[in-house]
Amino acid sequence: MIYFDNAATTKPSVNAVKKAEQFINEEYFNPSALYRGGIFCAKEIAAARESVLNNLGLSSANYEVIFTSCGTESDNLAVLCSGKRGIYVTDNGEHSAVYKSFTELTNRKIDTHFIGLNKDGSVKTDELFEFVKNNNVGFVSIVHVNNETGAINDVSFIADELKKINPSIIFHSDGVQAYGKIPFAFSDNIDMYSVSAHKINALKGCGALIKKRKTHILPLIFGGGQENGVRSGTENVFGIKIFQYAGEEHYSSLREDFEKVNNINSYVRENLDKNLFDILSGSNASPFILSVSAKGLRGEVIMHMLEDGGIIVGNGSACSSRNRHSRVLTACGYGDNVLDGVIRISFSTSSTLEEAKEFTVRINETARKLKGIMG
């Protein structure tokens, strides 16, 4: 099988799982327990927090890590639980976890505003800065890497510019498709940053919200007061430790893996039949995501034909798979003829050039065959 839907989820790292096995076989204790086993697990969670911060070059003196169940919960916690003041601003390219949180804010009679997108799915920064200059904005959330096109928003630059306009703005970024994948310098003006375990070869059911200690948020889940009172519930020690170990694997070879995946992405771009496919992802997009459109064809049909031959791709965000057309790509300005043919190809650090070569031959053949059937 060739698996090229890694933006949806990744295969867990065998080494990370093996290293964490002690937390289901021997050290399975509740981290809130006061006997030795519980204290040991609590210390191991603290080590995982430090690891996440170290990966981003952050200090525990200024930032803290709140472990959650997933990236979606992290986004909800950031958007819905910060202080309600001023207008809340985001863009039309956000993952549904942020986009629908803003819809909920609107339902709660809180002023919200959505910034437009460029053709590649990146945010229109001039429009964003102009709006913030002329309005009472209290909170801004801009995705780091667009999960459908791979467009990279320079969130450190955006955060810096926003704080020049209004230092009291709270700035959040969904970093789910960036953490462990793309090298970048984390600005001190980023107040909150969401990450997810299963996008970097760890397990589903674990994520984190990285936030400045001075940024105040209220709990979304109430109970025993875990995670410094912000996120109650017994911690998923096994999942957290796999997240830690997988993250350390990724950051130990981040730049080398980035170049490797970039070469794979470039090969696919160059060898797709240009008479059959339009490339939607920009040239400066994350190499881990490549969105294309099959001209005059249905992307979903191609996806299933490839699946029958042992190749797995997506046709957009897995979290929006029930919708006929991508909300994000629609906001980019594409019409039905492009939207119908969308296919999202997404790579991982374990993807190979050999897989890419076989894939491009097979997807070209599939599209040609489908064209012939329709013709």
Which residues are part of the catalytic machinery? 319
Looking at the DSSP bridge assignments, the partners of residue 225 are: none
* Type of residue numbered 291: S
* Residues β-bridged to residue 221: 231
Give Rg (Cα) of the chain: 21
Cβ neighbours of 11 (radius 10 Å): 11
Question: β-strand 277-279 against 289-294: which pairing, if any?
Answer: antiparallel
Element (H, E) at 342: strand 342-346
DSSP 3-state assignment of 23? helix
Cα separation values, 281 from 20, 56, 103, 147, 265, Å: 37, 26, 27, 11, 11
For residues 96 and 114, give the distance between their C-alpha atoms in angstroms, rounded to a whole number: 13
| SS3 label, residue 303 | helix
Query: Minimal CA–CA distance to 181: which of 265, 298, 77?
Result: 265
Kind plus residue range of the DSSP H or E element containing 89: strand 87-91
Distance, in Å, from the CA atom of 228 to the CA atom of 375, rounded to the nearest integer, reads 62
Residue type, 113: H
User: On the CB side of 147, how many CA atoms lie within 13 Å of its CA?
Assistant: 35
CA dist., res. 27 & res. 20, Å (int): 10
Strand duo 170-174 + 137-141: pairing: parallel
Cβ contact 116:91 at 8 Å: yes
Provide the b/e sequence for 166-175 (b: ≥16 CB within 10 Å). Answer: eeebbbbbbb
